[in-house]
Structure 1
Amino acid sequence: MTDFSNLIYYAPSKVSENPLIVEADLCIYGATPAGIAAAVQASRMGLRAVIAEFGREIGGMTASGLGNTDFGHKSAIGGLARQFYRDLGSHYRTDNEDGAVWHFEPHAARHIFQEWLEKAEVPVYFEQHLASVDTNSGKIVKIAMENGNVFRASMFIDSTYEGDLMARAGVSYHVGRESNSVYSETRNGIQFGSHHHMFNAAIDPYVIEGKPDSGLLPGIMDVAPGTQGQGDRSIQAYNFRICLTTVPENRIPIPMPPGYDPQQFALLARYIRAGVWDFPRKFYRIPNDKTDSNNFGAFSTDHIGANFNWPEGDYATRERIFQSHVNYNMGLYYFIANDESVPRALREERQQLGLAADEFVKTANWPHQLYVREGRRMISEVVMNERHCRGQEKAEDCIGMASYTMDSHNCRRLVLEGFCVNEGNVEIPIPGPYPISYRSIVPKREECANLFVPVCLSSSHIAYGSIRMEPVFMILGQSAAIAAAMALEAGVATQEVNYSKLRERLLQDGQVLEV
């Protein structure tokens, strides 16, 4: 029987009898790729850096199944981010391009990150559940954890996917989709009309077809559709990036998850009966006959509408949402491979895929990190928006570049004119790489003077859909650490770092600031 006991987001911390008091120049909350890049860069610049990590692992999504890198234009990736992919090239002994590898196994990414941290002599403190933030005169003085540990530093970086440190420090932020009118955009807010990941057949949404009073099938929201471009609190769907294999000696059959209910997939069964099977097309191939498996199609691994309470939820709420996503994603694969309502050919096809036995060995071979595609987003002096992505407005204080499509997964599944529809998908190409403003990773001066936010940066929903890629997070984390060191050396607030000098040092450390 599969042991799921370690497959958790949060277990309440016991207060330690001897809590730690950790002193550092720079405290980084979150061992995501952004946090790791920041720590390594800070160490190179002579700072005492520490990482406090909420969970039990390092590497965020890059080390948790997202092995098919969303890079946009590779030419826009420099610095430690580029070095990471080159180090993967050395790991796999490749001679491609400049030695970089962009498709990799989860354990390989973790290995590179672990080597980096050990070489930089940066300690990582795991299971540090943020409880409080103490500020004085507009600066963070210390952060305290549920277990009683305290971290004191002169500078802080929030590199979490949720923006927890930023929020507890009193920094302004937004959750959800802004109306198009807020930042003069066209692809923000409610979005109907996409041709991607939509139902390609007319699917009745009701438990008893044709009878609205029978209720809606699981996964369909009973909400008003709203109007195109209208703002709301919806966020794009989360999932797990699952590492599968067809190699028999390394393959573990996908288990039945706790609380499995096949009725949860009644809508998929109805969709398949309508003659549509679009789910299997998003298995990215990574080394050693494994996959990075992502969402694709109208009904897939995206648990649409189940994540709205995650960004601002307390830890117990997030644990419930985490387990809901485990049960949904694992249950989906189990359903397709085993349920008799699924055609035999499809079942047999899926039975050839299983979890990779040599990945995620501590968490039942399942990814430890939920793919939090967006959480809170800071509101600072500069809000990156659609006009930046399209090149209609240019940030003159560039600290790194983004280049991916403006990309939002679906946010809602609802009923429109008696049929089931998905809403929120956006996939809009951009002209090319564009600069990200330094002012978008620092709060407003009056809110906090010693904090950087390279992941939940100041951005609109749709611009974040372009920026939110793991290589970009590494770029911004490294740039944040450089700016932190310069701010400490000059004795100034983060907002007062001399950009000309910052730009010079960014270029010296290999960052790409124009292409």
Structure 2
Amino acid sequence: MALKEALLLLLFKCCAKKLGKSVVLIESGRHLGGVTSGGLGFTDYGDKSAIIGLAEDFYHRIGVKYGKTTETYTFEPHVAEVVYNSYITEANVSVFFDYRIISAKIVDKKVESIVVEKSSDSQISTNVVITAKMFIDCSYEGDLMSRANISYTFGRESNALHNETHNGVQMLTKHQFPDGIDPYVIPGNKSSGLLWGISDETLARQGSGDKKIQSFNYRICLTNNKTNRIDITKPDNYNPQHFQLLIRLIEKTKPKSMRSFLKQDLMPNHKTDFNNEGPFSTDAIAMNYEYPDGSYETRKKIVKQHEDYNKGFLYFVGHDPQVPQHLRDEMLTWGYPKDEYKDNNHWTHQLYIRESRRMSGQYLMTERNALGTDVVTDGIAMASYRMDSHNAERVVVNGMVKNEGDVQWPQNYPHPYPVSYGSVVPKSSECHNVLVPVCLSATHIAYGSIRMEYTFMELGEASAVAAVMALEANTSVQEVDTKALKEKLNIK
């Protein structure tokens, strides 16, 4: 079981343990919780009624940590990790920290065992073989899924493939450059070359498919508490040329606050969850194309590039003389919190991997599910967020720089809708004892609605119960009685 989003398998492990099964939890890093303990303290949920089961319990426990009796959806990273660790302590389970999957042994369409290696120092002498009857891949990347020969895809499907309307290439208006931003190093001089971050590719047809990935960034926890603040210093590989588009955007729009290009959601104790905002921000557009199928070494390089870019963005805004003084002054009121990420120089351990591989499973969730047109009867979790894709490329259109790929649709949050059990189950022709609750079977645009952390938690819990049911019935994950599963999950 490969795991980056450790919470999911953590909940699975605690749930399965309560049901009398032994479980091994494998975490490729050194912290539990993935991006939820990695800076995403401002929870996106749409309709709160969709948050059920152990997901609801998690947010209730967060509230307790802040002296509240109700669920709390805005929190500090270290508080989230404390709650995750409490599940581990209560269930009395051990965790294989700093291990990742390198291979799987398949026998009769079942994963019989996997081999894991030390993430930080891979040597044959420290490899571990883990044998189990059931596996759940809760990683953001789907690394067990791919090694189990389960089919998958990544990128964006064409609208025509599954009769959708907002998939594929989408040149829309959100997080978009205003008209008139020149893309060339010397304005008006095409021969001077493009500014950093702009592709020389020709914009493809609207709605056409490709293998481009919506952008990643970091959900950045900063503080403006002077006694808890560490100054933002110049990062590795800093290059101010990477941010010249920001200067042109500022010159064009004349923002009064950096909130126009940095989304700021306040958290307790004078901290914030900074996220992407506008056409040029913390999203490292087009820097992640090789991530889904990349080797561990390739991914490590991509992660470092994103870290350098995000840290560089913060430093540039606070220190570059091209940035207006009032914006620099505002940025300099913020710094890295002393009490967060103490073992990682106060920087989050988790890149925000919005989307990577997606399984080609027993049932495919599409935009029709998210809109309520198609309603499944085997729903094991609820989703309610709008379909949300960040930009996937930055190109030149009619001599101006434009972003492509951002979708936020519909504008009003849809009513909660069920996510199919079939979407976390491989095709029966491929594998019988693996469930995939994160890299589940969905089109790119449907995944943009489902990919909220609370829904992942619910899918992880449901996968745990289903795994136990399959074990007790001595059957495959495809043959689990979904009606009985829903009853156990208290889903009507």
TM band (smaller chain): over 0.9
Find the aligned partners of 2:40 and 2:14 in 1 and give their Cα distance. Answer: 22
In the alignment, what sits opposite 1:16? none
2:171 match: 192
Deviations 1:430-463, CA, capped at 9 Å, x for gaps:
5311111001001001111000000000000000
Distance 1:200 1:229 in 2: 22
Inter-partner Cα distance in structure 2 for 1:30 and 1:210 = 45
Partner of 2:435: 452
Q: Give, in whole Å, the separation in 2 of the partners of 1:421 and 1:214.
A: 19
Aligned residues of 1:143 and 1:152 also touching (Cα < 8 A)? yes
Match of 2:447 in 1: 464
For the residues of structure 1 that align with 2:293 and 2:245, how far apart are their CA atoms?
A: 29
Aligned to 1:160: 139
| Structure 2 residue aligned with 1:366 | 347
Question: In the alignment, which residue of structure 1 is the partner of 2:73?
Answer: 102
Report the CA distance between 1:201 and its aligned residue. Answer: 4.4
Counterpart mapping for 1:20-35 below 5 A: 29-35=3-9
**Conserved? CA contact 2:258–2:330, under 8 Å:** no
Residue 363 of structure 1 aligns to a residue whose secondary structure is coil
Distance in 2, Cα, partners of 1:446 & 1:342: 58
C-alpha separation in 2, matches of 1:105 and 1:431: 28
Query: Which residues of 2 match residues 335-354 of structure 1 at below 5 A?
Result: 335-354=316-335
- The 3-state SS of whatever aligns with 2:455 is helix
Number of corresponding residues: 479
- Whether the aligned pair in 2 keeps the contact of 1:169 and 1:448 (CA below 8 Å) is yes
Tell me the distance in 1 between the aligned counterparts of 2:4 and 2:268.
28
Pairing 1:139-178 to 2, within 5 Å after superposition: 139-146=110-117, 147-178=126-157
Q: Is the 8 A contact 1:30 1:158 kept in 2?
A: no
SS of the aligned residue for 1:401 comes to strand
TM-score, structure 2 length as denominator?
Answer: 0.95
- Does the aligned pair in 2 maintain the 1:30–1:51 contact within 8 Å? no
On the 8 A contact 2:156/2:210 being kept in 1, the answer is: yes
Contact 1:381/1:444 (8 A) holds in 2: yes
Residue in 2 that maps onto 1:428? 409
Other-structure match for 1:132: 103
Q: Aligned to 1:110, what secondary structure does the other structure show?
A: helix
User: Aligned AA for 2:175?
Assistant: H
Q: Does the residue aligned with 1:380 lie in a helix, a strand or coil?
A: coil
Query: Structure 2 CA distance, aligned partners of 1:44 and 1:257?
Result: 46
Give 1:28 deviation, angstroms.
6.4
- Residue 479 of structure 1 is matched in structure 2 by 462
1:18 corresponding residue in structure 2: none
Q: Is the 8 A contact 1:76 1:402 kept in 2?
A: yes
Report the AA paired with residue 87 of structure 1. Answer: R
CA distance in 2, matches of 1:337, 1:503: 52
Q: CA deviation at 1:30?
A: 4.0
Alignment deviations for residues 219-260 of structure 1 (CA, whole Å, 9 cap, x no partner):
111111001100011111000000011110001111211111
Which is worse superposed, 104-113 or 196-205? 196-205
5+ long unaligned stretches in structure 2: 118-125
Residue 88 (1) aligns with residue 66 (2): no
| 1:296 is the counterpart of 2:277 | yes
Cα shift at 1:33: 2.2
Amino acid at match of 2:178: N
Q: Report the counterpart of residue 442 of structure 1 in structure 2.
A: 425
Residue 414 (str. 1) matches residue 395 (str. 2): yes
Name structure 1 gaps, 5 residues minimum.
1-26, 508-512
* 3-state secondary structure, aligned to 2:16: helix
Counterpart CA distance in 2 for 1:401 and 1:143 is 31
Match of 1:309 in 2: 290
User: Offset of 1:122 from its aligned partner?
Assistant: 2.0
Are the aligned partners of 2:469 and 2:480 in contact in 1 as well (CA < 8 Å)? yes
- Paired with 1:293 and 1:29, the residues of 2 have a C-alpha distance of 25
Give the match's secondary structure for 1:36.
helix
Q: Read off the aligned partner of 1:50 and give its amino acid letter.
A: V
Contact 1:162 1:376 in 2 (8 A): yes
Evaluate the alpha carbon distance shift between residue 235 and residue 279 of structure 1 in structure 2; reply closer, same or farther with a 3 A threshold.
farther
C-alpha deviation, 1:279, in angstroms: 4.8
Query: CA, structure 1 residues 31+306, in 2 after alignment: closer, same or farther (shift >3 Å)?
Result: closer
1:155 is matched by which residue type in structure 2? M
Contact 2:303–2:351 (CA<8 Å) still a contact in 1? yes
How far 1:32 sits from its partner (Å)? Answer: 2.5
Instruction: State the alpha-carbon separation in 1 of the partners of residues 258 and 438 from structure 2.
Output: 30
**Mapped pair 1:112 → 2:86:** no
Q: Does 1:72 align with 2:46?
A: yes
Counterpart of 2:146 in 1: which secondary structure? helix
Question: Partner residue of 2:367?
Answer: 386
CA contact 1:28–1:35 (8 Å) conserved in 2: no
Which residue does 2:158 correspond to in 1?
A: 179
Residue identity opposite 2:20 in structure 1: G
Structure 1 distance, partners of 2:201, 2:130, is 44
Which 10-residue stretch deviates more, 230-239 or 123-132? 123-132
Give, in whole Å, the separation in 1 of the partners of 2:2 and 2:100. 13
Q: Out of 171-180 and 33-42, give the one that drifted further.
A: 33-42
Deviations 1:300-324 (A, max 9, x none): 0000010111111001111111110
The answer to whether the 8 Å contact 2:389/2:407 transfers is yes
Asked whether the equivalents of residues 28 and 156 of structure 1 are also in contact (C-alpha less than 8 Å), the reply is no
| Root-mean-square deviation (Å) | 1.2
Which residue does 2:120 correspond to in 1?
A: none
2:440, 2:168 → 1: CA distance? 19
Tell whether the 8 Å contact from 2:2 to 2:143 is kept in structure 1 after alignment: no
Question: Contact conserved, 1:201 with 1:276, CA < 8 A, in 2?
Answer: no
Number of the residue aligned with 1:202: 180
- Whether 1:269 and 2:252 are equivalent positions in the alignment is no
**Per the alignment, in what secondary structure is the counterpart of residue 294 of structure 1?**
strand
CA distance in 1, matches of 2:201, 2:376: 38
CA–CA distance in 2 between the matches of 1:49 and 1:241?
Answer: 31
TM-score normalised by the chain length of structure 1: 0.91
